[in-house]
Amino acid sequence: MYYYSNEIVFRGHPDKVCDQISAAILKECMKQDKNTRAGIETMGGKGKVFITGEVTTNADVDVKKIARAVLDDVGYTADYEIIDNIGKQSADIALGTNDEIGGAGDQGMMFGYACDDTDRMLPKAMVMLQEFAAWYDEIRKKDSRFLPDGKSQITGLYEEGVKLRKIVTWTISYQNTEKEREATDKIIIDKALEIAAKYQTEVEHFLVNPTGKFEIGGFEGDAGLTGRKIVVDSYQSFANVGGGCMNGKDPTKVDFSAAHKARQIACRYLENHHWVEVQLSYAIGKDKPLAIYIDTDTGSIDVPASLYDECTPARIISDLKMKEIDYVELAKYGHFR
């Protein structure tokens, strides 16, 4: 038996807002031009939103308009100065990622994970936090006492790997107007208990806004940056995490596309296992992975040669229909749900 914690941040958390702005710009580019190449970075704080990175596209995109739409949708009301500093992607990268070569858009390692803890093949505590964060965004829209920023963390008692026996402490920090705090805290706790009951999990203790007050939040309370929540975007610390951000990147960037492929492979191999973790690694400009490693609760699995052919960027993009997906939806509560 041991204690373990995992965390999610809400849509209105400054880092997640930046993820969504980067993803929204990419989404519009891909809608107009499926061959867009992009690595979009957003930083926000103290009345300013700075958007930079590289985009090569035939799309005609109003970056500032898209950013303002995201800010409005997540509940930020300030009139931010938005700075568009996006440039074109390096032609050197295109030498290895064009249609003829079809190589990876970067080097690095990506991880995929699956477990038999839930029907989603994800850890129970991770699924609970995702549901709670999605609910919070809905209650925030309906009840003005709830403000956009926040995060939530589960500290659980575990045995047999990812098997959650009970929640020892559910910590919730949510931005609010500080009006009728007793009532809003009760709404928060009641929903958490409802979700825990759905997954037949006991909650021993809650910590709600442990500092006592959370009224100043968003870009006024903290700076935000695309890619700073890669653990939330992946498996909330239940599995290894690659070094690259997944938001604001077109699918030739294996940080994004290969991470989703690794997840698909992990789900495929889960039968007869409690958990599976897959690592893919790439070199920029090369199409096949340098290595594929599949680990399970009973040991590693021999990798068939055919899997290397299946994991080229071109095959991944085609098989997973990665030019058609909703990049903003992935940026909201984590890529794997």
Q: Which residues are catalytic?
A: 13, 15-16, 41, 54, 151, 214, 222-223, 228-229, 249, 253, 255
Q: Which two tokens stand for residue 218?
A: 């968003």
CB atoms within 10 A of CB 134: 15
What stretches of 244-300 adopt beta strand conformation (E)? 275-282, 291-296
What stretches of 210-259 adopt beta strand conformation (E)? 224-225
**What kind and span of H or E run contains 46?**
none
Angle at 82 (CA atoms; ends 246, 147), nearest 5 degrees: 75
DSSP 75: T
Name the residue with tokens 């040991």: 299
Q: How far apart are CA 179 and CA 76, in angstroms?
A: 19
CB atoms within 10 A of CB 285: 19
**What kind and span of H or E run contains 287?**
none
Contacts of 236 (CB under 8 A, 6+ apart): 6, 7, 8, 123, 125, 126, 129, 334
Angle at 14 (CA atoms; ends 8, 20), nearest 5 degrees: 80
Q: Quick one: how far is CA 12 from the chain centroid?
A: 13
Angle at 220 (CA atoms; ends 210, 11), nearest 5 degrees: 70
Contacts of 324 (CB under 8 A, 6+ apart): none
User: Cβ(275)–Cβ(162) under 8 Å?
Assistant: yes
Residue 213 burial by CB count (10 A; 0-12/13-18/19+): exposed, middle or buried? exposed
